[in-house]
Chains A and B, each alone.
Chain A
Amino acid sequence: MSATHHHHEEQDFLFKYIFSQDHKMISKQFLITGFLMGFIGMVMSTLFRLQLGFPGESFWAIDFFLGSWAENGVMAPDKYLALVTMHGTIMVFFLLTAGLSGTFSNLLIPLQIGARDMASGFLNMLSYWFFFVSTIIMLISLGVEGGSASAGWTIYPPLSALPQAIPGSGLGMTLWLVAMAIFIASSLLGSLNYIVTILNLRTKGMTMTRLPLTIWAFLVTAILGVLSFPVLLSAALLLIFDRSFGTSFYLSDIYIGGQVLEHSGGSPILFEHLFWFLGHPEVYIVLLPALGITSEIVSTMSRKPIFGYRAMVTSILAIAFLSVIVWGHHMFVTGMNPFLGAVFTFTTLLIAIPSAVKVFNYITTLWKGNIIFSPAMLFSIGLVSTFISGGVTGLILGDSALDINIHDTYFVVGHFHIVMGLSAIFGMFAGVYHWFPKMFGRMMNNTIGFFHFWITIVCAYGVFFPMHFLGLAGVPRRYYTNSEFPLFDNMIDINELVTWFAIVAAFAQLLFVFNFFYSALRGPRSSQNPWRANSLEWTAPVEHIHGNWPGEIPEVHRWAYDYSKVDENGEYVSGEDFISQVVPLGPNEKDGGH
């Protein structure tokens, strides 16, 4: 009896936690895996910041973490590039694509649209496991002969194609490509599910114009993923052919290691085109979910409807559309046709319009609100700030004439880390703080959250703002040290300051890690609707049940943003400052947004 019982339990455990097809569990799996990778990526960045702030000095930490990559605690120049490459790859794809979109699309899509689960739980599970395998392969590549991929996260050939050019382009690069191919499969499976679920499984009354903005963001993100990731796959395949079978898609006229290579007729620029056709939408694949999450939180915590719902949706669509016709702005100095450069400048700068609309709408949502500063709200406000601070410099970089002189300098590093890295990670933190009760049935500690936010935002600006100045002084990115150029000797102070901020920022994340695990295990139990929010996920019981709602799925009667709605006497319509989406409209009540 006990033996069979035990066996049964084991199976239960396996299907509940490991091979779960339940979207809420898969979402947690994505979150934990994503954060683990993010943590590794962050440690990497702290290590190479040590080298940049104190070039050539020996550090215990570098020795401890890098081992054979660093002799006597000083990292080797090519391993510096390996770290930079893996940091970028991990942060962009594993943390901010899979970790962010995978977590919140999975958690929120069925719950916010009123579905029992994703369209295909099986594909959804597969999506996570592909991601997991890809994670493992990527981590294994850190330990192979020659080191991991070292050609930058953009893996431009020929550098990424030739082991003679850099040791990391050997087995490490092969594993990188394999891992990415599997990652793309994972991302596509996920996106398929997200799109079909949103389009087909909405509950009664949940029209497209009543969808919370989170869902709009996830939908458009998934569509972008389906359109652009296959192109990256084709680019990666051709690179694999060039590397492993001796074709010449990207390679031509190369003399390296004392001999002329057999490749001829290929074009490295072709790879750049294919890569950035994904690469730029990828920026928005990372950013849009964060913006969607923020829209939801800003509105809930201001106790006000999000301002300009339709404009918000339109700008998401506009940003997504523009994002697939701007990739050339990464290639202004590749010798591209100047006319083409002009076209790309034009489309690129246009993105500023929908972005500006979003910012203004966020700010207007705060205006005359009744703001509760939960940690989630703090991070959302932080996101608006980083989105502005990083966004405005995009007008400089997107302008081909100006890009010539700051292309690939630290100005770029500062720009994209603020506008995309910080914004996305702030959105992710905001989402975790906000929907933690939905995920774990417990609440996170606010006080630790406050400290986490303030230290993080101060240090984040401390790290990335000075980089603009480095860039304007002409300091190129991806330099192991700036000490070889007398021109840059005065910059060492800036680099040192940046490194100190980076170290503090890294340690501040331990606050979050602690808060996360403490709260998940010991935190106070949450009520069903702790933020007194309107959207559908808060009508589901705190305890997770397969199928989300006991009994019928609730019907939806209004949009998600009826906060502080008053009748003609100035009294709250519902007696409270929020009205759940499931409450029918009153006899004289107009539908809030429409």
Chain B
Amino acid sequence: MTSIALENNDYKKEIKQKTAKPLLWIGLMSIVMFFAGLTSAVIVSKGTAVWETIQIPSAFAISTVFILLSSLTFYLGERSLKSNQLAKAKLFILATLLLGLLFTVTQYLAWTDLYKNGVVWAGSESSAAGSYFYALTALHLLHLLGGLISLLVVNFKSIKEKYNAENLLGVQLSSTYWHFLTALWVYLYLFLIFIA
């Protein structure tokens, strides 16, 4: 099998520059549809069954603050990279990771709160409303896990100073995904308030 161009690193890079972002965007579209499916399921269920009222744990509000802040730091980190302020960028990107972890912790706290209030995930004591609460937040967190892994990689590379103003595709992809998760969380949070 003869090979043309494909083995060529410049070519590979060019294709990646051209396609990585659209690939991510369309991937995000499918995640949007996934959550659209789930949230419309909630609306259908709410219309048909007895709907338990649920008190929203305050931890969810705190995690909202954390994730919004993390998006901000990621944005600032990316901007620092663009102006080649690598040291500043390192800090911001690290802060993003930490805020992401804090978000995860507060999510867990929120669940324990819910559980204490008698909202259980499954079994005879459960209700559709409560189960949706857990399912929606957990599935968001599952997607966030992917974001955290990408953040780990980005942190690792930024500490090794692999990124600069000319080379930041990886950061851009990671931040796009992260901002998307923030937006998704805000949507879910408002939705939870609406259905509670």
Interface residues of A (CB under 8 A from B): 16, 116-117, 119-120, 123, 188, 191-193, 195-197, 199-201, 226-235, 237-238, 241, 245-249, 252, 262, 264-267, 269-270, 273-274, 277, 544-547, 549-551
Contact = CB atoms under 8 A, between A and B. Distances in A.
Contacts of A241: 122, 131, 135
B194 interface: no
A200 B19 contact: yes
Interface in B1-26: 1-7, 11, 15, 18-19, 22-23, 26
Contact of A226 (B29, B38, B131): B29
A249 B1 CA distance: 53
B58 interface: no
Contacts of B121: 245, 247
B128 interface: yes
A60 B163 CA distance: 68
Contact of B131 (A229, A247, A252): A247
A200 B29 CA distance: 17
A200 B126 contact: no
Contact of B23 (A196, A237, A544): A196
A550 B22 contact: no
A547 B19 contact: no
Interface string B135-149: 100010000000000
- Which of B4, B29, B48 is most buried by chain A, counting CB atoms within 10 A of its CB? B4
B3 A248 contact: no
Contact of B18 (A188, A200, A549): A200
Contacts of B18: 119, 200-201
A20 to B, nearest CB: 10
A274 B41 CA distance: 7
Nearest to A262: B124
A274 B49 contact: no
Contact of B45 (A117, A227, A249): A249
16 contacts: A116-B11, A119-B19, A192-B30, A196-B26, A227-B30, A231-B36, A232-B37, A246-B126, A247-B121, A265-B50, A265-B128, A270-B41, A270-B48, A546-B2, A547-B4, A547-B6
A544 B1 CA distance: 7
Given A116-B6, A248-B128, A267 B22 contact: no
B29 to A, nearest CB: 6
Contacts of A123: 23
Nearest to B12: A121
Size range of the chain B interface in the assembly: 35 or more
A246 B123 contact: yes
A74 B105 CA distance: 58
Contacts of B49: 252, 265-267
A247 B122 contact: yes
Main secondary structure of the interface of A (DSSP, over half): helix
Interface string B41-69: 10011001110000000000000000000
B193 interface: no
A230 B37 contact: yes
- Which of B4, B22, B27, B128 is most buried by chain A, counting CB atoms within 10 A of its CB? B128
Nearest to B19: A119
B23 A238 contact: no
B102 interface: no
A269 B37 contact: no
A270 B45 contact: yes
B48 A267 contact: yes
Given A267-B48, A270-B41, A192 B27 contact: yes
Contacts of A262: 123-124
B15 A119 contact: yes
Given A549-B4, A550-B2, A267 B44 contact: yes
A231 to B, nearest CB: 4
Contacts of B40: 273-274
A197 B26 CA distance: 12
Given A193-B23, A248-B126, A231 B6 contact: no
Contacts of B112: none
B126 A247 contact: yes
B161 to A, nearest CB: 26
B104 interface: no
A229 B30 contact: yes
A330 B15 CA distance: 43
Contact of B4 (A188, A266, A545): A545
B127 interface: yes
A192 B22 CA distance: 9
B37 A277 contact: yes
Interface in B90-139: 121-124, 126-128, 131-132, 135, 139
Given A116-B5, A246-B123, A546-B3, 17 more contacts: A116-B6, A123-B23, A192-B23, A192-B30, A200-B18, A201-B15, A231-B33, A231-B34, A233-B37, A246-B122, A247-B122, A248-B122, A248-B126, A248-B131, A266-B128, A546-B4, A547-B6
Contacts of A116: 4-6, 11
A117 B126 CA distance: 50
A249 B49 CA distance: 10
A277 B124 CA distance: 30
Contact of B1 (A252, A546, A549): A546
Pairs A-B, 10 closest by C-beta atoms: A231-B37, A547-B4, A230-B34, A234-B37, A262-B124, A119-B19, A246-B122, A230-B33, A247-B131, A265-B49
B195 interface: no
Nearest to A267: B48
B31 interface: yes
B153 to A, nearest CB: 16
Contacts of B2: 545-546, 550
A269 B48 CA distance: 10
Contacts of B131: 241, 247-249
Contacts of A230: 30-31, 33-34, 37
Given A230-B30, A262-B123, A119 B23 contact: yes
Contacts of B128: 247-249, 265-266
A125 to B, nearest CB: 14
A196 B16 CA distance: 11
A312 B5 CA distance: 36
A18 to B, nearest CB: 14
B33 A195 contact: no
